[in-house]
Amino acid sequence: MKRNQFIKFVSLSALALSVLPHLSFTSTSTLSKDQLIGKGNPKLFGNGYNLREAAHLQFLKMKSDALKADIKIEVVSSYRNFAHQKRIWDRKFKSFTAKGFSAEQSITKIIEYSTIPGTSRHHWGTDLDIIDANVKRPKNVLLPNHFYGNGPFCKLKEWMDTNAKSYGFYLVYTDNANRKGFKHEPWHFSYKPLSQDYLKQYRNLDIGQILKTEQLLGSEKLTKTFISKYSKENILDINPELL
């Protein structure tokens, strides 16, 4: 390649990456079963949060640009390992059963917003829950009404709706009346260049068999029929752009 042609090629490549920066981080790797269910030891990056390197770098760019609009993106949850998710599960299961709910009813309540350990997207280091730290923090930050109308995080939501995809981040649980599974989470975003491929890998696991060995509270109710329905509605009924 001649010198002037090479310079032109490099210039055009740089321009393409500046317009669509997340395309520079589209390569993925095959994860082990343990990493897919939150039991591995992934290399993670971040200050006050934990993401895989490509997601971390793009998040920094997105956070920096949001600051120009007077929005300070704060991560309230990112990578969670299996043990962390199990603690959430156990705490909620005990709380609901203590209130008189049956095991089946408790599980139904839990999976409105929380995943069964081993099935969380947060196990992959690609997903995060965010708020705006530049506004007064409400007592319970992750409530949908905070992101709409006069809610404190509505400006953040509007900015993310317009800009997040240009950095590779996509809303996971959309506000679609026909969508089943987890309820709408306007705070939960996923780094698509990695998570889309990880989901494909995850679908090859026999998650029902894996969960049988974990001795979760209420695990006797996690039947083959339940897991099949849960997989279809909670794991896969998400923003179609992430499938």
pTM: 0.87
pLDDT at 4: 54
User: Which DSSP state fits 45?
Assistant: B
Q: Give the span between the Cα atoms of 56 and 85, in whole angstroms.
A: 21
* pLDDT exceeds 80 at position 24: no
Q: Any idea which fold 21-242 has? A: Muramoyl-pentapeptide Carboxypeptidase; domain 2 (3.30.1380)
Kindly report each contact of residues 96-100 with a partner whose C-beta sits within 8 Å and lies 24 or more positions away, as own/partner: none
Structure tokens belonging to residue 217: 């509270």
**CB 50: neighbour CB atoms within 10 A?**
21
pLDDT at 29: 80
pLDDT greater at residue 123 or residue 7: 123
Q: Give the span between the Cα atoms of 187 and 243, in whole angstroms.
A: 19
Q: Give the span between the Cα atoms of 70 and 197, in whole angstroms.
A: 33
Structure tokens belonging to residue 161: 């709706």
* pLDDT exceeds 90 at position 207: yes
Q: What pLDDT, in 10s, does the model give residues 71-111?
A: 999 999 999 999 999 999 999 999 999 999 999 999 999 99
CB distance 74 to 132 below 8 Å: yes
pLDDT at 212: 86
User: Which DSSP state fits 77?
Assistant: E
CB distance 38 to 118 below 8 Å: yes
pLDDT at 1: 56
| Local structure of 70: helix, strand or coil | coil
Alpha-carbon torsion (63, 65, 67, 70), positive or negative: negative
Could you give the residue ranges of the DSSP H alpha helices within the chain? Answer: 3-19, 33-36, 53-67, 82-98, 103-110, 154-163, 192-202, 207-212, 224-230
16 CB contacts (<8 Å, ≥6 apart)?
23
Residue percentage of the chain with pLDDT more than 70:
88
The length of the chain in residues reads 243
pLDDT band at 221 (very low <50, low <70, confident <90, very high): very high
Structure tokens belonging to residue 193: 């260049």
* pLDDT exceeds 50 at position 19: no
Q: Give the span between the Cα atoms of 72 and 34, in whole angstroms.
A: 34
pLDDT at 215: 85
Structure tokens belonging to residue 69: 């609009």
The closest alpha carbon to 119, from 57, 53, 9, 203, belongs to: 203
What is the pLDDT averaged over residues 60-71?
98
Q: Which residue has the tokens 């509505």?
A: 154
* pLDDT exceeds 90 at position 20: no
pLDDT band at 7 (very low <50, low <70, confident <90, very high): very low
Residue percentage of the chain with pLDDT more than 90:
84
